[in-house]
Structure 1
Amino acid sequence: MFKKKIYLAVLLVLSFLKIEAFAQEAPPLEVLQLNLKETLEFALENNPDSKNAKLEVMVSQTTIKEETAAGLPQINGNVGINYNPLVQVVFLPNEPPFGDPSIPSDVIPARFGVSYSGNAGVTLSQMIFDGSFFVGLRAAKTYKALTEYDKIKVENDVIENVKKAYYGVLVNAERIKLSQSNLSRIDSLLEETKAMNEAGFTEKIEVSRIQVQRNNTFSQLKQSMTAYDISKQLLKIQLGLPKNYDVVITETLAELNPEEDLAALQAMEVEHRVEMDQLNTNMELTQLDLRYNTSQYMPTLDFNASYTRSGAGDSFNTLFQSRNWFSSSMLGVTMNIPIFDGLSKSARIQRNRLQLQQLENQRFYLDQNIALEVYQAKQNLANDLEVLAVQKESMELAKEVYDISKIKYNEGVGSNLEVVEADAALIESEINYLGALYDGLISKVDLEKALGILKDGLGQ
């Protein structure tokens, strides 16, 4: 038993030393001080989704080069050496004029070939006419345009998520300030009540009542601090920040929401949505696919050329003698005429036409859906602003009620219960106000998204 206690003690000491060493080796946090505009610009450069969208645009550029290469000359070289351990034997009839009377057999074995042979050559092919080439090249360029719109869509999603996370950090920071202020206020009231209880002017139950309220306020402070840490971690993830970085926001909520900007936002109408560009580009790609499949009925014409040097020898040394090598060349034109493919092209063309009808239906639905999104976002923002104004008024009234209750209690004409209830009402009104403020900020982002103006002001 004694040895076991010693073993546990050693483990505790080693664990403490490891923790201390880790703390000493951990790199210090690098702090980024950012406002909203800087935060969004940083996210567009470092968010993984944004990075991948930019890489996809670069991939589409290589697709254009690949399609262009199909119309350029194709040149290939070849070099080969062959060794025949057993040369092929061909049997000839043993008859005049090639017969040999000295051979009793009715056939004569003849070896056709040598032990070693080699060749070296170059081939060239050039497309003269292929109706699908220019369609494919146009499709590759259209695909690049689609990746550009996809990049804009991804960036809009990044901006939306970053803004919501950014506002979450600001609101939770404000909650911490209010909770600290509430805790300081209730602590002062608790100290005053304890002093009055010790002097015999109040009962112990009044101290206990305020202590309960103080514990509840302290719990709310801890919850606000936890929510703040979580919201900051979420913001760091959206920004694509490494773990050894921290973010400090240099703006306040009041600076981000001037009333004239909100009024102008509600008066705007949607002008452009990247989702419609994506859909239109997909329709263009489908139309090009239809043209490509239709062009497969047309013949193709190619020019071919080759130049070859061939040699042979019955031994490896004689293989490379120049007198044993001979040249050959070829020039030709090949026309490939499609005749019957089992109706596969016809099926692809029919599929393309059906896909175009689907995209037409999607475009109609998207147009209606965008209008509905704008309407809902405007209504939600208007309702949230009304609720925010009511909650702000309620918070001011609750503060006024608390101040009056506190004055009455200090002058001995009010009860301790009134002060505690007024304090609880004030805290509840503050929580409701911050909740309404956050809802209003989210509705503002949703309206900016519906109007297609999330990237306005970023210089993108």
Structure 2
Amino acid sequence: MKKYLLVILTFFLSQAGLKAQEMAELTLNDAILYAIENNVNAKNARLELLISKATVKETTAQGLPQVNGAFNLDFNPRIPVAFFPNEPPFGDPTNPSDVIPVRFGVSYTSGLAVNFSQMIFDGSFFVGLRAAQTLKQLTEYDLNKTENDVIENVKKAYFGVLVNEVRISLAEANLSRIDSLLKETQALNEAGFAEKIDVSRIQVQRNNTFTQLERAKTSWQVSKELLKLQMGLPVEMEIFVSENLRELNPQEELVRLLAEEGQNRIELDQLNTQLELTQLDLKNNTVQYMPTIDFVGNIRRNGAGNEFGTVFDGNNWFGSSLLGVSMNIPIFDGLSKSARIQKNRVQINQLENQRFFLKESFKNEIFTARANLKNDLNILEVQTENLKLAQEVYDIARIKYQEGVGSNLEVVQADSDLIEAEFNYLSALYDGLISKVNLEKALGLLKADLTN
């Protein structure tokens, strides 16, 4: 799979430097695979996963030994003075003051130290480590959800391009048909067998059909730009979709989809993980009532001198060290931990309520999507039949007109009805495609084919 994705990426990137008229041929699965790798939201979701992995490492590091070095070099322009009472046996009778000032210290002092600490017990650390792992799992679910959203958007955009291509084909066929009718009517008018109003009526129909063709072409361009945006493809690239609607929606696949029971939805996994994180936060606030214990150590050497040149004389340097255990015992914090615990419990109740509602909404979503797809397929079947009938009516009206037993108005009306039937067919076709994607989403079946 990775090799396949790399080939696709290399292909598209190499194409990006070509001229605008160069085209990249796309299947639906190619578009989905490229979008998963290049869509901005998908890329950010993968970066968020990297952040969560770094958070796990950061949390783990808090339980490992902490070692810090220190160095200082101090200069005392005026050495501090200490005062002693001017009393026997150390008093100075010649000094009239009741205190004796004495300077303690030297002009220059320096020191080197290594400080060491190791956590022995901290309940918050172990809860935090588990929470970091759970957060990583949540970001993995978020990535899956984002990829599902990307697949949904790419499918809908891809289908939009295909439907607009069909719309253009139908509009071109309509324009060709009406042009042929217009030429025939103009010839009849010149021969005196048709009135000028018959020509004008068909000319109006021709202008409307031409406008519809131009709108279809614009919609096609817009739908391609939307597909490129959803894929994360540079706008300079020109694309060509190589599949048709019949290939992508075989009848047996639709029947099988309607019978599917569905799979676990990623949204439920996300909510369950959020609930677990809140429960861990509750546990973290609870264990903060327990003391924390750390092992500490210190190694230090200090030196001094009245002159800067003597500060680093080895004879003036002396070492010291310390080993110990420190314990921090929480006694009273103004009931802040108690308030946080109460808040956590309320949040858990909220998430449990949300989980219940989410499960019920999934059932409703599946029911609605399945009902919409069935309805859209029925409508599509009716509109397909209606399109055939409209074509037959037009053909008969055209023959009658050519044989002189039908009116020009009847042909124009039949053509208008045929165009309306075509647009109704396209609308039903697009609605069916969107309903199919919505049902796939509701059933948790949105995915790309990664086996190629």
TM-score, normalized by length of structure 2? Answer: 0.94
Counterpart of 2:232 in structure 1: which amino acid?
Answer: G
CA distance in 2, matches of 1:223, 1:30: 24
Determine if the alignment matches structure 1 residue 125 to structure 2 residue 108.
no
Deviations 1:179-223 (A, max 9, x none): 011001111111111111112121111111110000010010011
CA distance in 1, matches of 2:354, 2:83: 74
- Say which of 365, 371, 392 aligns to 1:373: 365
Measured in 2, the distance between the counterparts of 1:267 and 1:456 equals: 20
The residue that corresponds to 2:236 in the other structure is: 244
* Correspondent of 1:116 among 104, 108, 125: 108
- What is the Cα-based RMSD across aligned positions, in Å? 1.6
How far 1:62 moved relative to its partner?
A: 0.6
2:403 and 2:436 mapped to 1: Cα distance? Answer: 47
CA drift of 1:27 comes to 5.4
- In structure 1, give the amino acid aligned to 2:275: M
Given the alignment, which residue of 188, 205, 221 partners 1:213?
A: 205
Q: Residue 107 and residue 363 in structure 1: after superposition, are their counterparts in 2 closer, same or farther (change >3 A)?
A: closer
- Structure 1 runs of 4+ off > 6 angstroms? none
Within-5 A mapping of 1:246-395: 246-395=238-387
Matched, 1:441 2:415: no
Supply the AA of the counterpart residue of 1:123: N
* Counterparts in 2 of 1:300 and 1:29: CA distance versus 1, 3 Å: farther
2: distance between equivalents of 1:267 and 1:173? Answer: 31
Is 1:165 matched up with 2:157?
yes
Structure 1 stretch displaced more, 436-445 or 412-421: 412-421
Question: Does the aligned pair in 2 maintain the 1:116–1:315 contact within 8 Å?
Answer: yes
1:184 is matched with which residue: 170, 173, 176? 176
Separation of aligned partners in 1, 2:390 and 2:93: 132
| Counterpart Cα distance in 2 of 1:150 and 1:350 | 28
For 1:46, give the aligned amino acid.
Answer: N
CA displacement 1:302-346 (0-9 Å, x = unmatched):
000000111111111111111111101000001111111111111
Deviation at 1:72, TM superposition (A): 0.1
Return the alpha-carbon distance in structure 1 between the equivalents of residues 132 and 231 of structure 2.
32
Kept after mapping to 2: 8 A contact 1:136/1:292? yes
CA distance in 2, matches of 1:90, 1:147: 62
Q: What is the DSSP-based 3-state SS (H/G/I as helix, E as strand, rest coil) of the residue aligned with 2:23?
A: strand
Query: Aligned runs of 1:22-37 on 2, under 5 Å?
Result: 28=20, 31-37=23-29
Q: Percent identity?
A: 63
Paired with 1:358 and 1:258, the residues of 2 have a C-alpha distance of: 44
2:194 matched residue in structure 1: 202
1:141 to 101, 108, 133: 133
Q: Is the 8 A contact 2:112 2:301 kept in 1?
A: yes
How big is the shift at 1:242?
Answer: 1.4
Displacement after TM superposition at 1:424 (Å): 0.7
Compare 251-260 and 89-98 and name the one that shifted more. Answer: 89-98
Q: Distance in 2 between matches of 1:338 and 1:104?
A: 53
How far does the alpha carbon of each residue in 1:101-156 deviate from its partner, in whole angstroms, 9 at most, with x for none? 55454443221111111111000000011112111111100111111111111111
Counterpart position of 1:234: 226
2:55 equivalent to 1:63: yes
SS at 2:327's partner residue? strand
CA distance 1:292–1:29, change in 2 (3 Å):
farther
Counting matched residue pairs gives: 436
**Counterpart for residue 415 of structure 1:** 407
Letter in 2 for 1:217: T
The aligned amino acid for 2:313 is Q
